[in-house]
Amino acid sequence: LPQAKYKERGTVLAEDQLAQMSKQLDMFKTNLEEFASKHKQEIRKNPQFRVQFQDMCATIGVDPLASGKGFWSEMLGVGDFYYELGVQIIEVCLALKHRNGGLITLEELHQQVLKGRGKFAQDVSQDDLLRAIKKLKVLGNGFGIIPVGGTYLIQSVPAELNMDHTVVLQLAEKKGYVTVSEIRSSLKWETERAKQVLEHLLKEGMAWLDTQAAGEPQYWLPALFTELYSQEITPEEAKEAIP
């Protein structure tokens, strides 16, 4: 007698669905190959298209960047694009860490990465950087994305930054620095709480203290110094980046 393939209720068994999935997977691979042959360039060249692509994947519950072995990565080349970007981001952050304590604006990171990639490399957008950074988090190096003003600060060190720290960073973003009085008046905090947060940022090297400022001491974020934006990464700093 042939083995009963179905339970009483007539539901399909897992192993049969697995066989079905295997077949559908092969078909999907073919569809993807076809898509790639027509539109691979579009993804490479068009940042807007990349955003659309990523959003659609997210909507249906698929992560095209999860693995270099995934179909998306292999056939569309999206993987290599973002994983290489990840390497470049890590190197820039390492090189500049001693200047900014491991906090850098998305703008500056973008500029430095573009410089590093050279004139003839594929253009990358800020959205691309954010997606690459989200993937890097899993390496445990403390990569984080902090929304400030209309943009983001990228953290690349395992320093613990809680809500209090984040809120003060956001306050400091407007002028590049913040004072205890500003924190007290804007956030309605006690002096002690403000000082604790600022001291933590000082210790981590993410803030510098200007005691000579008129009035009261100012806590500056080197990550926000616009004068430093176009400063090249020095050879010594570059060495630090690739140990």
* 92 contacts: CB under 8 Å, gap ≥ 6: 104, 109, 112, 113, 116, 233, 241
Q: How far is CA 134 from the centre of its chain?
A: 4
Q: Which stretch binds another protein (CB under 8 A): 31-39, 162-170, 175-183, 222-230?
A: 31-39
Interface segment toward another protein; rule CB under 8 A; list 112-120, 122-130, 162-170, 181-189: 122-130
Can residue 18 be called a binding residue for another protein (CB under 8 A)?
yes
Under the binding rule (CB under 8 A), the answer on residue 56 touching another protein is: yes
69 binds another protein (CB under 8 A): yes
Among 208, 219, 103, which Cα is nearest to 168's? 219
Query: Considering only residues 46, 170, 186, 196, which one is a binding residue for another protein as defined by CB under 8 A?
Result: 46
Taking the complex as a whole, how short is the minimal distance between the CB of residue 17 and another protein, in angstroms? 5
- Of residues 99, 116, 127, 228, which one binds another protein by CB under 8 A? 127
Among 123, 139, 231, 239, the residue binding another protein under the rule CB under 8 A is: 139
**Near another protein by CB under 8 A, which window of 54-62, 112-120, 181-189, 228-236?**
54-62
State the Cα–Cα distance between residues 79 and 65, nearest whole angstrom: 6
* Edge-to-edge strand ranges of the sheet holding 151-156: 103-105, 151-156, 143-148
Tell me the per-residue interface mask from 156 to 175 with another protein, x by CB under 8 A, - otherwise: -xx-----------------
Phi/psi of residue 4, each to 5°? -70, 120
Q: Which residues pair with 145 in a beta bridge?
A: 154
10 binds another protein (CB under 8 A): no
**47-55, 111-119, 182-190, 222-230 -> range binding another protein (CB under 8 A):** 47-55
111: contact with another protein by CB under 8 A? no
Number of residues that bind another protein (CB under 8 A): 79
Q: Which of 21, 174, 213, 234 binds another protein (CB under 8 A)?
A: 21
- Binding piece for another protein, criterion CB under 8 A, among 36-44, 171-179, 185-193, 225-233: 36-44
Neighbour-count burial of 61, counting CB atoms closer than 10 A to its CB (0-12 exposed, 13-18 middle, 19+ buried): exposed
Distance of closest approach, residue 158 Cβ to another protein, in angstroms: 5
Q: Which helix (H) or strand (E) holds 17?
A: helix 14-45
CB 43, min distance to another protein, A: 9
Helix, strand or coil for residue 144? strand
* Of 159, 156, 139, 142, residue with least CA distance to 94: 156
